[in-house]
């Protein structure tokens, strides 16, 4: 198996979910091979960055120069993974993927894109439109929706700024590893948002790697249903893509 590099800490609860998911996938993959000893696990190197440092260096979309420090911080972290001998890397967060091209420029190792992984999952599940929930940059930059549009997928963000603030507020709580009534709060956001769109099927992309944690018992599934809504779990979609690349290339 290829050696995996994980750029984590964005935030720590999601990094744990990535590591857990990859190990569980490897255990399942090797379960029936009757190998002596414990199940084989891919070697992993985790480079955990300071979320406060990166958060305070976010720039403004449309002003490339304003992202210089942010991009350099993530590029340096990925370069450390590369220098540590990983075969490829993943960034365990949706938000930095809005700066994917700048962050990964010049690296010799592949960096698996969470946006690409979600697009592939949408094709498999015949999804051509969904409601997008995530951090402020992910909902407002237009980068993720523009990427999906090239794959024939339409992503719509909540039109109500108050609703967006509710999502961002919940994410801030999840960064600390907990939330109050997170599941019902997401459900309220989803239902009020769908009332303002013409989306035919209730499909939601949880485009923040912490958001799936509010769905206790379902957070380890790529996709799942809850209260009549079909959810895409970007954390597990991305972790699955990483494991497949580790064993198949």
The single residue listed with the structure tokens 């220098």 is 83
The single residue listed with the structure tokens 């891919």 is 42
Helix (H) or strand (E) holding 201: none
User: Which pLDDT score is estimated for 231?
Assistant: 98
Residue 61 is given by DSSP the state T
List phi, psi (to 5°) of 232.
-105, 120
Beta pairing class for 4-8 and 44-48: parallel
Give CA–CA dist 50/88, Å, rounded.
21
Contacts of the segment 228-232: beta carbons below 8 A, 24+ positions apart = 228/202, 229/187, 229/190, 229/202, 229/203, 229/204, 230/127, 230/201, 230/202, 230/203, 230/204, 231/203, 231/204, 231/205, 231/206, 232/118, 232/121, 232/122, 232/127, 232/130, 232/203, 232/204, 232/205, 232/206
Could you give the domains of the chain? 4-114+238-248 (3.40.50.1860), 115-234 (3.40.50.1860)
Alpha carbon 179 to its chain centroid, in Å, reads 19
Paired with 132 in beta bridges are 205
Helix (H) or strand (E) holding 233: strand 229-233
Q: What is the pTM of this model?
A: 0.95
Paired with 169 in beta bridges are none
CB 193 within 8 Å of CB 165: no
pLDDT tens, position by position, 36-47: 999 999 999 999
No. of helices (H) and no. of strands (E), the chain: 10, 9
Helices (H), 180-233: 182-194
Residue 133 is given by DSSP the state E
Give CA–CA dist 8/17, Å, rounded.
11
User: Which pLDDT score is estimated for 32?
Assistant: 86
pLDDT tens for the chain, 249 residues long, are 999 999 999 999 999 999 999 999 999 999 988 889 999 999 999 999 999 999 999 999 999 999 999 999 999 999 999 999 999 999 999 999 999 999 999 999 999 999 999 999 999 999 999 999 999 999 999 999 999 999 999 999 999 999 999 999 999 999 999 889 999 999 999 999 998 877 779 999 999 999 999 999 999 999 999 999 999 999 999 999 999 999 996
């Amino acid at each position: 198996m290829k050696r995996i590099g994980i750029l984590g800490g964005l935030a720590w609860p999601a990094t744990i979910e990535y590591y857990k998911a990859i190990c569980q996938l490897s255990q399942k993959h090797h379960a029936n091979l009757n190998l002596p000893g414990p199940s084989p696990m891919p070697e992993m190197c985790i480079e955990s960055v300071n979320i406060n440092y990166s958060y305070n260096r976010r720039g403004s979309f449309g002003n490339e120069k304003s992202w210089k420090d942010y991009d350099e911080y993530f590029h340096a972290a990925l370069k450390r993974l590369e220098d540590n001998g990983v075969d490829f890397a993943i960034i365990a967060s949706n938000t930095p993927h809005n700066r994917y091209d700048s962050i990964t420029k010049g690296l010799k190792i592949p960096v698996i894109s969470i946006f690409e992984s979600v697009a592939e999952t949408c094709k498999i599940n015949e999804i051509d439109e969904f409601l997008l929930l995530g951090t402020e940059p992910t909902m407002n930059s237009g980068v993720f929706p523009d990427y999906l549009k090239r794959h024939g997928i339409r992503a719509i963000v909540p039109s109500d700024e108050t609703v967006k603030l509710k999502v961002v507020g919940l994410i801030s709580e999840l960064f600390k590893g907990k939330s109050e009534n997170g599941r019902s709060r997401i459900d309220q956001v989803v239902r009020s948002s769908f009332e303002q769109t013409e989306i035919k099927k209730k499909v939601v992309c949880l485009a923040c790697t912490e958001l799936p944690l509010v769905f206790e018992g379902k957070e380890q599934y790529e996709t799942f249903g809850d209260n009549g809504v079909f959810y895409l779990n970007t954390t597990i979609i991305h972790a699955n893509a990483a494991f497949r690349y580790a064993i198949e290339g």
